[in-house]
Homo-oligomer: A and B are copies of this chain.
Amino acid sequence: MNLKELSQMLGLSQTTISRALNGYPEVNKETRERVLQAARETGYRPNRAAQRLATGKAGSIGLIMPISPDHSSDMHFAEFQSGLAEASIVHDFHFVIMPSRAEDEEQAIRWLVASGSVDGYYLAYVRDRDPRITMAKSLSLPFIVHGRSFGLELDYPFLDVDNEGAFYDATRFLLQLGHQRFALLNGPSDLDFAHRRRLGTEKALAEKGLLLDPRHTRHSFMGDEQGYRGMKEILASADRPTAVLCASTVLALGAVRAMNEVGLKLGTDISLIAHDDELPLLKPENFSIPLTTTRSSLRAAGKRIGERLIAMINQSEPAAPEQELWKVELVVRASTGPAPT
């Protein structure tokens, strides 16, 4: 069954069928359902090249793949990408991925837009007053930001999680358990989410007249080794903290190893709360002492961003920028307990 035969069978134009299958709003619901049912029954799958000609769309989303200093893979990126793929596969979209060092990202985006190979793109790893957002607003292609940028007006489409609220809640909970000395193993200092998580921590501490000790704060790539090394150094100090906040379960994996090495019992001698992106390999309940976490699914964020971006691409009229801020849950498990006396 090809498009022409399907068109004859249904008595609809080939354009209408293409648009129905691609979810264009011009096609009414009844027609769309009739087309989808016929496509299912006849096993028809659209020819992508024909589709592209008919719609003028590439059928693709552009994204930048950040390159870590040691070129190792980043599970956070992989998990987000799997969510994006989940949305893409439904709408028959593919990705154009540009691996890029942080300093070359603006150029990489300009190329993506100029190449004509993508219909839209998403920006992530947002920084303060991020120049890429200003640039994206000046270009003609749909885009969506994963995160927000401190210092810029919020007039762009974004999806973010409430990073400040999450770390405020986590810190407040530890304060209620009597903790006074805190450590924070955070993501890279130039990234917006890390900035907001530190703000949330500092805000909760300030309410009790406490300050976050810069000697007990680390900013790094969110890898297992970084968590281990950071925690090891912090545990070696004379006035070591009794409560630790980690920006990722990956950092926590290393931090827990460092605690085990010096014989500290998690939840008794020292408490830890990690941010849980729901990475499939690092379920907090599978740690030998299950971790208390602030939870928000990175895959769900990827899926939602994919869906919104594809809807923006398929829309003929530009809509007002949609903005979403997801709440984060605090899930209490065994890694937190009263401050040791």
B-binding residues in A (CB < 8 A): 45, 48-49, 52, 60, 65, 67-68, 71-75, 77-79, 81-83, 85-86, 88-89, 94-101, 107, 111, 114-115, 117, 223-225, 250, 253, 257, 260, 279-283, 286, 288, 299
Q: Distance in Å from the Cβ of A52 to the closest Cβ of chain B? A: 8
Q: Which 8 A-B pairs have the closest CB atoms?
A: A78-B78, A85-B99, A73-B82, A72-B280, A73-B78, A95-B97, A73-B79, A71-B86
Q: Tell whether, in the assembled complex, residue B224 and residue A253 are in contact, meaning their CB atoms are under 8 Å apart.
A: no
Q: Tell whether, in the assembled complex, residue A286 and residue B257 are in contact, meaning their CB atoms are under 8 Å apart.
A: yes
**Contacts A78-B77, A82-B71; is A99 near B94 (CB within 8 Å)?**
yes
Q: Tell whether, in the assembled complex, residue B115 and residue A49 are in contact, meaning their CB atoms are under 8 Å apart.
A: yes
C-alpha gap A94/B115 in the complex (Å): 12
Q: Tell whether, in the assembled complex, residue B99 and residue A280 are in contact, meaning their CB atoms are under 8 Å apart.
A: no
C-alpha gap A281/B76 in the complex (Å): 12
Contact of A75 among B95, B98, B281 (CB under 8 A): B281
Q: Distance in Å from the Cβ of A69 to the closest Cβ of chain B? A: 12
Contact of A94 among B49, B98, B253, B288 (CB under 8 A): B98
**CB-nearest residue of chain B to A80:** B73
**CB-nearest residue of chain B to A95:** B97
Q: Tell whether, in the assembled complex, residue A97 and residue B94 are in contact, meaning their CB atoms are under 8 Å apart.
A: yes
Q: Tell whether, in the assembled complex, residue A223 and residue B89 are in contact, meaning their CB atoms are under 8 Å apart.
A: no
Which residue among A72, A81, A101, A281 has the maximum number of chain B CB atoms within 10 Å of its CB?
A281
**CB-nearest residue of chain B to A72:** B280
Which residues of B have CB within 8 Å of A45? 107
Q: Tell whether, in the assembled complex, residue B94 and residue A281 are in contact, meaning their CB atoms are under 8 Å apart.
A: no
**Contacts A250-B281, A281-B281; is A72 near B82 (CB within 8 Å)?**
yes
Q: Tell whether, in the assembled complex, residue B114 and residue A85 are in contact, meaning their CB atoms are under 8 Å apart.
A: no
Which residues of B have CB within 8 Å of A299? 71-73
Which residue among A98, A99, A111, A223 has the maximum number of chain B CB atoms within 10 Å of its CB?
A99
Which residue among A68, A71, A101 has the maximum number of chain B CB atoms within 10 Å of its CB?
A71
Given known contacts A67-B85, A97-B97, what 17 new A-B pairs fall within 8 Å (CB)? A45-B107, A48-B114, A48-B115, A52-B115, A65-B81, A65-B85, A71-B82, A72-B79, A72-B280, A72-B299, A85-B99, A88-B99, A94-B98, A95-B97, A117-B117, A223-B280, A224-B281
Give me 25 A-to-B residue pairs in the complex whose CB atoms sit less than 8 angstroms apart, sorted by A's number: A45-B107, A48-B111, A49-B111, A49-B114, A60-B96, A65-B95, A67-B89, A71-B86, A73-B299, A74-B78, A74-B82, A78-B78, A88-B99, A89-B99, A95-B95, A223-B280, A223-B281, A224-B280, A224-B281, A224-B283, A224-B286, A253-B281, A257-B286, A281-B281, A288-B288
C-alpha gap A73/B303 in the complex (Å): 12
Which residues of B have CB within 8 Å of A81? 65, 73, 78
C-alpha gap A77/B97 in the complex (Å): 15
Which residue among A68, A280, A286, A299 has the maximum number of chain B CB atoms within 10 Å of its CB?
A280
